[in-house]
Amino acid sequence: MSNTTPTRRLWREMNVFDGLHTLPEPMAVITDGARVASLVPMREFDEEIAEGCHDMGRGGVMTPGLVDCHTHLVFGGSRADEFEARLEGISYEEIARRGGGILSTVTATREASEDELLELARPRLEALIADGVTTVEIKSGYGLTVGDELKMLRVARRLGEALPVRVVTTLLGAHALPPEFKDESDGYIDLVCQEMVPAAASEGLADAVDVFCEKIAFSVAQCERVFEAAEAHGLPIKAHAEQLSNLGGTAMAARHGALSADHIEYLDEAGIAAMRKAGSVAVILPGAFHTLRETQQPPIAALREAGVPMAVATDANPGSSPLFMPTLMLNLACTLFRLTPQEALAGMTAHGATALGLKGEGRIREGAAADLCVWNVDTPAALAYAVQPGRLHQRLFQGELTHA
């Protein structure tokens, strides 16, 4: 630890989106080391406040660092051929049934070493960082053996050490049925519950456990067994559910206190009620909807009406969402699903944090972490309005300036 006084930084005339709302008047924002020290309306600003502060400039939009709460950034190989096949009319499910899709990424990921996976994932994560991300969730799910799942999680942890970003890891062993367990899906779930979850937990490699509850993946009953194993090891849970059909996985996940249910295009009223009761976050993934050219809209109006918080994430992955630009997701969430720009931004800040079990984070307020972005745009809504790389002007991660 160094003994130097923490750096105080001052921004003036900021148009602040605080993680839930756009503040009604221009603000001065002061950070002290790794924390936000104060937020003062400009009309109350007094030059005394500026004393001892680094002047960080004036004007522009300030948001919390973006929280991308659902990604699959660690993988080997490419699925460009699958993209072309889907354009010719073969569905995502059909490709999966033929052994392609997720399983083709599994083959390439198993073949890659930990170091190779790290170098493949690094530029993907750098792209997210350059678009304002300060917290990112990274899932496993392309290993599907104990060793390969742990390898992916170790890569995710190493990415968090190598780059200025907080990485939250999720074990997604129940992502697809690996070929060795063909016609033995309960046997594979035994492996997930009896070996993968305990190993990931004891090595401290997973912050949560996820499942893919779908006809082409695992049943509600199988996913419930995985959740029971997670609970037994003290790990929070979340689910890919109701993406391609309505199986009721969300309601079951909510009964187990899921942090989030993700995708949820086919979610019904009972699922919404269960989420509301459990306080689960609805993670909206417009990138997958767009890429798979889906037509079933997630029930945004009903979620809003029920007061279920909605997060927005990239779902960055090689198949259903090869899109590595968080602010594009703000745009797609508005244009495809009619979220308001404010809702989309809250979805990638405060509610994204809640979906990761970091309730209260993804905010700008006194005492909050100094994970902040300053953008070269006129209003917070403009971040969702235009799709334009390079608008990030400054990025602070744990109080350190990483982009200026």
Q: Which residues are annotated as a binding site?
A: 70, 72, 79, 142, 175, 240, 243, 315, 317, 319-320
- Can you tell me whether residue 13 is helix, strand or coil? strand
Question: 63 vs 105, which CB is nearer to ligand NIG?
Answer: 105
Q: Establish if 240 lies at the interface with ligand NIG (CB under 6 A).
A: yes
Contact 317, 74 (CB under 8 A): no
d(CA 173, CA 17): 36
Q: Establish if 207 lies at the interface with Fe ion (CB under 5 A).
A: no
Residue ranges of the annotated binding site for N-formimidoyl-L-glutamate are: 142, 317, 319
Question: 149 vs 315, which CB is nearer to Fe ion?
Answer: 315
Count of residues for the chain? 404
Residue 367: CB minimum distance to ligand NIG, A: 34
d(CA 299, CA 76): 34
Residue 91: CB minimum distance to Fe ion, A: 17
Q: Establish if 212 lies at the interface with ligand NIG (CB under 6 A).
A: yes
Applying CB under 6 A, the span of 219-227, 252-260, 305-313, 314-322 interacting with ligand NIG comes to 314-322
Q: Establish if 101 lies at the interface with ligand NIG (CB under 6 A).
A: yes
- Show the CA angle centred on residue 327, arms to residues 83 and 75, nearest 5°: 45
Residue nearest ligand NIG, Cβ-based: 319
Question: Considering only residues 286, 319, 341, 399, which one is a binding residue for ligand NIG as defined by CB under 6 A?
Answer: 319
> Residue 373 binds what, of ligand NIG, Fe ion, none (CB under 5 to 8 Å, by partner type)?
none
Residue 154: CB minimum distance to ligand NIG, A: 20
Question: 318 vs 380, which CB is nearer to ligand NIG?
Answer: 318
d(CA 213, CA 219): 6
Give the x/- contact pattern for ligand NIG in 117-156, rule: CB under 6 A.
----------------------------------------
Contact 293, 337 (CB under 8 A): no
Residues in 274-313 at the binding interface with ligand NIG, rule: CB under 6 A: 288
> How many CA atoms, within 13 angstroms, populate the side-chain half-sphere of residue 3?
0
Question: 26 vs 77, which CB is nearer to ligand NIG?
Answer: 77
Residue ranges of the annotated binding site for 4-imidazolone-5-propanoate are: 79, 142, 175, 243, 320
Inter-residue long-range contacts of 49-57, CB under 8 Å, 24+ positions, other chains counted: 49/10, 50/10, 52/8, 53/8, 53/9, 53/10, 54/7, 54/8, 54/9, 54/10, 55/10, 56/9, 56/10, 56/11, 56/374, 56/394, 57/11, 57/12, 57/374, 57/394
Q: Establish if 102 lies at the interface with ligand NIG (CB under 6 A).
A: yes
The candidate with the shortest Cα–Cα distance to 11, out of 63, 47, 45, 57, is 57
Question: Considering only residues 317, 331, 354, 394, which one is a binding residue for ligand NIG as defined by CB under 6 A?
Answer: 317
The amino acid present at 147, given as its one-letter code, is: G
d(CA 227, CA 282): 18
d(CA 383, CA 346): 12
Question: 128 vs 368, which CB is nearer to ligand NIG?
Answer: 128
Q: Establish if 137 lies at the interface with Fe ion (CB under 5 A).
A: no
Question: Considering only residues 31, 63, 71, 105, which one is a binding residue for ligand NIG as defined by CB under 6 A?
Answer: 105
What one-character-per-residue DSSP string does 63-78 give?
Answer: EEPEEE--------S-
Q: Which stretches of the chain bind ligand NIG, using CB under 6 A?
A: 72, 101-102, 105, 212, 240, 243, 288, 315, 317-321
